[in-house]
Amino acid sequence: MAYDGAIQRLIDAFASLPGIGPKGAQRIAFYMLSASEEEAQRLADAVLDAKHNIRFCEICGNVCETSPCTICSDPRRDRSMICVVEEPKDVMSIERTREYRGLYHVLGGTINPMANIGPNDLSIPKLLDRLKDGSVKEVIVALNPNIEGEATTTYLSRLLTPLELKVTRLASGLPVGGDLEYADEITLSRALAGRRDV
């Protein structure tokens, strides 16, 4: 039993998005039907607009409307630091801390032999290009702390250390507001190994 054509197509379109199941898609579809014409138009426009106007920054690989992106072209940013992240959304996560004023480099993924993704499928050659002129003094590798992220971090650190650069990575440890009782062993041993003077 399915809905009439257009409703079912709408439900299917929403259900194909990540994180939306069939019930959620149905709920959104009925919400759209009762929403105003303008709201429907706004959603449709936003989707097409983003597809047509968003590109990747030719320098760092971040998503942007103008290339180079607003970060790469901002003269107030510290050009001696590059923070290497996996995805464009990681740039925004780090920007939200308001602690980092350097540049970024988006790899577009991590090294993953199972998925047949090697260093040359990522923007690692482009990163090496950016480091050539010697103006960058520190590279912060800020990849996700999972197996692929660790492997890529190790690969990058081996690749970059000979270049007389400071190569750092994000600290691992207990999340703020976390609980010793619920921390897994690996996180806890990382937190121990990285202990600091009070």
Q: Does residue 175 belong to the site contacting a second copy (CB under 8 A)? A: no
Cβ 195 to a second copy shortest distance, Å: 31
* H or E element in which residue 81 lies: strand 78-85
Q: Are strands 138-141 and 78-85 parallel, antiparallel or unpaired?
A: parallel
Q: Are strands 63-64 and 55-56 parallel, antiparallel or unpaired?
A: antiparallel
Q: Does residue 128 belong to the site contacting a second copy (CB under 8 A)? A: no
Q: Does residue 46 belong to the site contacting a second copy (CB under 8 A)? A: yes
Q: Considering only CA atoms, which of 99, 22, 23, 103 is closest in space to residue 60?
A: 103
Cβ 63 to a second copy shortest distance, Å: 6
Among 22, 44, 161, 188, which residue interacts with a second copy (rule: CB under 8 A)?
Answer: 44
Number of residues that bind a second copy (CB under 8 A): 54
Binding mask 74-103 for a second copy (x = CB under 8 A): -------------xxx--x--xx-x-----
Helix axis angle, 22-34 to 37-53, nearest 10°: 120
Q: Could you give the CA distance from residue 58 to residue 69 in angstroms, rounded to a whole number?
A: 8
Q: Does residue 47 belong to the site contacting a second copy (CB under 8 A)? A: yes
Cβ 18 to a second copy shortest distance, Å: 5
Q: Does residue 32 belong to the site contacting a second copy (CB under 8 A)? A: yes
Amino acid at 131: L
Q: Which residue has the tokens 């047509």?
A: 52
CA angle 156, 170, 184 (to 5 degrees): 110
Binding site for a second copy (CB under 8 A): 1, 3-7, 9-10, 12-14, 16-20, 24, 26-33, 37, 39-51, 53-54, 63-66, 69-70, 87-89, 92, 95-96, 98
